[in-house]
């Protein structure tokens, strides 16, 4: 018998975090700025504030270790399911052969948000600041719709307009999240669309063009630039998005304290870096401050988009066509075209500057895992813990299992924590393929990475 109070821990609602945790002052080296693509120089404040809400731009470079969360936002967080539960994976542990309490796997339930992922943690905040600034709306892009649906809900909650450019492939084949966005009141365009100059170029040649995240980003940026009452919104990569996600880790830390635990291993999947960082942030901070110097903090990336393990730490464009800001990060090159793995959120060519610095300085580390092995772990997870995980979430599930079994082989005690970033109710296709034996892994020839890396822009840092 297990003590039921140790299976799931609800943080008391009044203990919802009051501040975001800013890692910038603690980084082992200074975080490089975003560059303006036309000049390849640090983007001036007035340029960046034309792209993002002004408060977000301030947070992008803030140096205070803690940044206060406005009260109205905390109220909205509670309505939309914060604090989220922390659970122990009792049934999964048993199924992989663990017994007793020597090795424990905990997971943070970011899937319980109304749109089913961690994305609402920043969507709500960006919409809040946009509203405060007197803007009319936000424009963004989305692949399969995780981010687009989160921003749509954020805008609906704050009373803002929302326009989403959604890759046509997903728009047509995965109507679930598109319909959700429309219910929230968003205008959703299949991208490439005739709505923008950039989109029209592609659309006029092929009205069935399946689209790409790169094109959709470019369309959203162009649209946002048309009218000063609108701004562009981004769901990962940049510092302020990572900042907003730190509520996840702070709650997890408090919940671990309630259990009198501290994790030996912290795991998350890496696409842009925000879900991983959000959960890991307080543990990274404690490691940097030598309070807990030995925590093993692991990012899991797909072998189909191995930016951290096979990419380069370099300046690169954030979007695919070279119209957006340039960042210093681990990248596979902005012209990298990832294979169509189901974990759409992990296919991005680059990664957040913050996690890039941490990875380069070995504060955190990265492993690459294949689609078939992680989905297989996700199936076992669903069968035991009951929750259908998003394909992205299958990555830390697999790695948590890996770490647990390794500890068991070595006879070590271990407390493992991972971010259960989202549910898979809209990702049934991945599981259908797994069950029918048609799920595949994709070979990624080194030459393909080399060719893409050859397109990196040239930046002269001495000019900054």
Q: Return the residue of 8, 226, 257, 365 that touches its own copies, per CB under 8 A.
A: 8
Pick the closer one to its own copies by CB: 154 or 353. 154
Asked if 133 and 211 count as a contact pair (C-beta separation under 8 A), the reply is: no
Q: Return the residue of 58, 74, 187, 376 that touches its own copies, per CB under 8 A.
A: 74
Q: Per-residue contact track with its own copies, 384 to 403, x per CB under 8 A?
A: xxxxx---------------
Which position has the token pair 């959000």?
Answer: 278
User: Rounded to an integer, what distance in angstroms lies between the CA atom of residue 58 and that of residue 62?
Assistant: 6
Q: Summarize the chain as % helix, strand, coil (round to 5).
A: 45, 20, 35
User: Rounded to an integer, what distance in angstroms lies between the CA atom of residue 180 and that of residue 431?
Assistant: 21
User: Tokens representing 8?
Assistant: 């799931």
Q: Is 437 in the site for its own copies (CB under 8 A)?
A: no
CA 308 to chain centre: 15
CB of 118 to its own copies, least distance (A): 15
Stretch of residues binding its own copies (CB under 8 A), selected from 5-13, 198-206, 217-225, 414-422: 5-13
Pick the closer one to its own copies by CB: 309 or 384. 384
Q: Return the residue of 80, 329, 394, 415 that touches its own copies, per CB under 8 A.
A: 80
Q: Return the residue of 138, 180, 279, 439 that touches its own copies, per CB under 8 A.
A: 180
Q: Return the residue of 230, 237, 431, 452 that touches its own copies, per CB under 8 A.
A: 431
Asked if 389 and 397 count as a contact pair (C-beta separation under 8 A), the reply is: yes
Q: Is 72 in the site for its own copies (CB under 8 A)?
A: yes
Q: Return the residue of 291, 412, 435, 461 that touches its own copies, per CB under 8 A.
A: 435
Q: Is 197 in the site for its own copies (CB under 8 A)?
A: no
Asked if 244 and 121 count as a contact pair (C-beta separation under 8 A), the reply is: yes
Q: Is 252 in the site for its own copies (CB under 8 A)?
A: no
Stretch of residues binding its own copies (CB under 8 A), selected from 324-332, 428-436, 445-453, 454-462: 428-436
User: Rounded to an integer, what distance in angstroms lies between the CA atom of residue 271 and that of residue 290?
Assistant: 27
Q: Is 187 in the site for its own copies (CB under 8 A)?
A: no
Q: Using alpha carbons, list the distances in angstroms from residue 250 to 2, 117, 159.
A: 26, 17, 28
DSSP-derived 3-state class of residue 76: helix
- Within 10 A of 313 (CB to CB), how many other CB atoms are there? 17
Q: Return the residue of 22, 59, 87, 255 that touches its own copies, per CB under 8 A.
A: 87
Beta bridge partners, 315, equal: 328
Site for its own copies in 311-350 (CB under 8 A): none
CA 317 to chain centre: 18
Which position has the token pair 């946002």?
Answer: 224
Site for its own copies in 51-70 (CB under 8 A): none
Q: Is 383 in the site for its own copies (CB under 8 A)?
A: yes
| Neighbour-count burial for 343-371, b at 16+ CB within 10 Å, e otherwise | bbbbbbbbbbbbbbbbbeeebbebbbbbb
Which position has the token pair 């991972």?
Answer: 418
Site for its own copies in 112-151 (CB under 8 A): 112-116
Q: Return the residue of 25, 97, 175, 293 that touches its own copies, per CB under 8 A.
A: 175
Q: Is 438 in the site for its own copies (CB under 8 A)?
A: no
The residues binding its own copies (CB under 8 A) are 1-2, 4-5, 7-8, 10, 12-14, 16, 71-72, 74-75, 78-81, 87, 90-91, 112-116, 153, 156-157, 175-176, 179-180, 182-185, 379, 382-388, 425-426, 428, 431-432, 435
């Amino acid at each position: 018998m297990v003590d039921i109070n140790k299976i799931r821990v609800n943080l008391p609602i009044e203990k919802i975090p009051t501040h975001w945790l800013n890692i910038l002052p603690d980084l082992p080296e200074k975080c490089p700025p975003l560059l303006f693509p036309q000049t390849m120089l640090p983007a001036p404040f007035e340029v960046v504030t034309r792209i993002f809400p002004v408060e977000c731009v301030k947070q992008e470079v803030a140096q205070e270790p803690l940044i206060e969360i406005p009260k109205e936002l905390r109220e909205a967080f509670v309505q939309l399911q914060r604090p989220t539960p922390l659970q122990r994976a009792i049934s999964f542990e048993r199924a992989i052969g663990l017994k007793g309490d020597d090795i424990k796997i905990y997971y943070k339930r970011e899937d319980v948000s109304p749109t089913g992922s961690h994305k609402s943690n920043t969507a709500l905040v960006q919409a809040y600041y946009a509203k405060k600034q007197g803007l009319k709306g936000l424009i963004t892009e989305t692949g399969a719709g995780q981010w687009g649906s989160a921003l749509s809900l954020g805008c609906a909650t704050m009373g803002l307009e929302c326009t989403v450019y959604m890759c046509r492939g997903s728009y047509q084949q995965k109507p679930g999240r598109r319909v959700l966005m429309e219910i929230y009141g968003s205008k959703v365009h299949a991208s490439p669309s005739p709505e923008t100059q950039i989109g029209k170029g592609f659309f006029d040649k092929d009205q069935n063009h399946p689209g790409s995240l790169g094109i959709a980003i470019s369309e959203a940026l162009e649209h946002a630039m048309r009218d000063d009452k609108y701004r562009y919104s981004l769901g990962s990569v940049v510092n302020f998005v990572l900042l907003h996600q730190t509520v996840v880790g702070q709650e997890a830390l408090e919940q671990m304290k309630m259990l009198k635990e501290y994790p030996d291993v912290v795991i998350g999947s890496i696409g842009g870096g925000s879900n991983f960082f959000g959960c890991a942030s307080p543990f990274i901070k404690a490691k940097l401050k030598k309070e807990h110097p030995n925590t093993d903090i692991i990012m899991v990336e797909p072998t189909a988009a191995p930016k951290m393990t096979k990419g380069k730490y370099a300046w690169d464009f954030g979007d695919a066509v070279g119209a957006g800001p340039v960042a210093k990060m681990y990248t596979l090159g902005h012209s990298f075209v990832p294979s169509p793995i189901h974990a759409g959120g992990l296919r991005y060519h680059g990664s957040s500057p913050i996690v890039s610095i941490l990875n380069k300085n070995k504060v955190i580390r990265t492993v690459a895992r294949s689609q078939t092995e992680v989905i297989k772990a996700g199936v076992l997870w669903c069968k035991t813990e009951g929750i259908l995980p998003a394909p992205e979430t299958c990555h830390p599930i697999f790695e948590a299992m890996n770490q647990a079994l390794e500890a068991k082989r070595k006879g070590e005690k271990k407390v493992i924590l991972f971010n259960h970033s989202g549910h898979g109710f809209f990702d049934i296709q991945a599981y259908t393929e797994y069950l029918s034996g048609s799920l595949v892994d994709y070979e990624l020839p080194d030459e393909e990475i080399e060719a893409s890396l050859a397109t990196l822009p040239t930046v002269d840092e001495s000019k900054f």
